[in-house]
Homo-oligomer: A and B are copies of this chain.
Amino acid sequence: MAVHLSAPDAAALLPIAGVRIGVAEAGIRKAGRKDLTVLLLDAGASVAGVFTQNRFCAAPVQVCREHLAGTQGIRAMVINTGNANAGTGADGLARARQSCAALAGKLGLSQQQVLPFSTGVIMETLPVERIVAGLDAALADAQADHWLRAAEAIMTTDTVPKAFSAQLLIDGVPVSITGISKGAGMIRPNMATMLGFMATDACVAPALMKQLAAELADGSFNRITVDGDTSTNDSFVVMATNQAAHAPITSLDSAAARALRATMLGVAQKLAQAIVRDGEGATKFITLRIEGGTTQDECRQVAYAIAHSPLVKTAFFASDPNLGRILAAVGYAGIADLDQTQIDLYLDDVHVATGGGRHPAYREEDGQRVMKQADITVRVLLGRGAASDTVWTCDLSHDYVSINADYRS
């Protein structure tokens, strides 16, 4: 069902010096599937993360935040699918810590050097003993070229593994970037997580990592939505192993930093967009481009109002150019002084509405033509200022209802 998205080629994914990955079948929820991943980092890596804003955040998210705030370098990650360890109270926290301690013990690390990640059903007890029992097999599997295996092992309702690489030169030295993700984000919050992991061998001062991760998330994962639900477990981790032979980046304003960030953002956007393209039941990939706002925030607010409207989403599913639904969503986006007579609306190249009303030259068959495409760009001109923003989303289909009504059975 994924919209214009195919599985990555393992050979196209670049290993990152200083990162090894191993997976195992731990039988966490179902037998016979890869559901446990360990990611091992050489000493000296810079690591930062961005996590869900949900106040009901899962136990592993709470532990990640603690461990990343510590002074010991992060050296390993343990990731399971099948169970989100969310809504599990103090017992869930203890189990998340137990999984870190078990992996730390096997690697001669402190528990604070391990980050835990879980994704799956909410409000069920994490079978941590199965994770612990699976660690040896996962560690034995650890290799630098196992990114695709990890992309597969973190899938839940995803139909396609998501992994992308890129390269650039810094001071003439080749630097590699590889990232993987799995749906959910605001997409499959019940499954219950967007997970994203991105590594580079570039040399980035640890003090810069938090801001870099935030900027990358802001331009990618924070620009996508499927159903507006924000997961309890959303996590995006960025690692720089500092093994490439260029001069370390110590300022995000340097030319090297800008080049690295742009290339990393390209990978992050592909990872984020892949989640939407593989959205539950998605048949259309929709780019919402809002221009002419007074601030970027108000543009994003309008984009999300459109992206979250079930009426707009069902119209895209039906390829029905029922475009008044888009104007209505713009109207309730929460801009108090919006002047509807200044609004223009485009569907790809088709000028649908002008001055808040139907464009005189707009013909329904032109709207219909664009609506039938699998990739559609909606442009709204607010006529208020010079700010703009972009959000990516998908349609709402019968399959979305089926998948979410039947998911646990």
Contact = CB atoms under 8 A, between A and B. Distances in A.
A330 B122 CA distance: 13
Nearest to A232: B328
Interface stretch (A40-48, A223-231, A257-265): A223-231
A317 interface: yes
Contacts of A84: 324
How many chain copies? 2
A370 interface: no
Contacts of A55: 330-333, 335-336, 338-340
B314 A404 contact: yes
A357 B408 contact: no
A207 B397 CA distance: 49
A357 B92 contact: yes
A328 B192 contact: yes
Chain A: number of interface residues, binned into ranges:
35 or more
A378 to B, nearest CB: 15
A275 interface: no
Contacts of A324: 84, 86-87, 121-123, 190, 192, 232
Interface in A324-367: 324-325, 327-333, 335-336, 338-341, 343, 353, 355-358
Given A56-B338, A87-B356, 7 more contacts: A54-B328, A54-B332, A87-B327, A88-B357, A189-B325, A229-B310, A320-B405
Interface of A: 53-57, 84, 86-92, 121-124, 189-190, 192, 227-232, 308-311, 314-315, 317-318, 320, 322-325, 327-333, 335-336, 338-341, 343, 353, 355-358, 396-398, 400-402, 404-409
